Amino acid sequence: MISKRRTILTFAFSLAALSMGAAAQAADTTIHVSLWDKGPDSVMMDEQHQMAMGMKGADMMMALLGITVDTETVPAGTVTFEVTNDSKDIIHEMVVSSIPSADTVLPYSADMNKVDEDAAGHLGEVAELDPGKSGTLTVDMTPGLYVLYCNIPGHFMGGMWKVLTVTP
């Protein structure tokens, strides 16, 4: 009788430990995102400052606008983006789209000077943030590559994008 009770308790503790391990693996992830620029003249449309994703020869060290994240790789699951517009002068936003590769060229409307979000398959966004303001976005993400980008006219072309890897 004691042996049977011990076996049942051992099984119960093992099952509880497995459940806790699974819960730990399925934990939500938070990414801190900074939307930044180098001042009110950052949105320059000359060729030297055009740095859209997939552009050959773009020198991101020359970017006057950008997105910085505290991690570029996260596990699949629920991901919360805590987004802060660290600009002192310019409104920014953050849009999330899935991409097949880091060299993907997003569908871009030259007339509107921004990415066609519908064609890019956006998964959500933190819409226009005034300077110094913050917002959040929570997305269930599967393994693959994603791009975070600002789609205020001229900002994506100016270098405001970041590739994120989601692992299994």
> Where do the DSSP E strands lie in the chain?
29-37, 65-69, 73-75, 77-85, 92-99, 108-109, 114-115, 122-129, 134-141, 144-149, 161-167
Q: How many CB atoms lie within 10 A of CB 12?
A: 10
Tell whether 1 is covered by a domain. Answer: no
Tell whether 36 is covered by a domain. Answer: yes
Tell whether 21 is covered by a domain. Answer: no
Q: What is the pLDDT of residue 40?
A: 84
Tell whether 6 is covered by a domain. Answer: no
Q: 98 or 60, which is more confident?
A: 98
pLDDT in tens, 11-46: 444 444 444 444 445 569 999 999 999 888 777 655
Q: What is the pLDDT of residue 141?
A: 97
Q: How many domains, the chain? A: 1
One-letter amino acid at 19 equals S
Residue 139, domain CATH: 2.60.40.420
Q: What is the pLDDT of residue 116?
A: 96
**What gap in Å lies between CA 11 and CA 9, rounded to an integer?**
5
Tell whether 94 is covered by a domain. Answer: yes
Range of the domain at 140: 28-167
Tell whether 19 is covered by a domain. Answer: no
pTM, entire model: 0.79
Tell whether 15 is covered by a domain. Answer: no
Range from 7-16, 60-69, 76-85, 108-117 carrying the lowest mean pLDDT: 7-16
Tell whether 146 is covered by a domain. Answer: yes
What average pLDDT does the segment 91-100 reach? Answer: 97
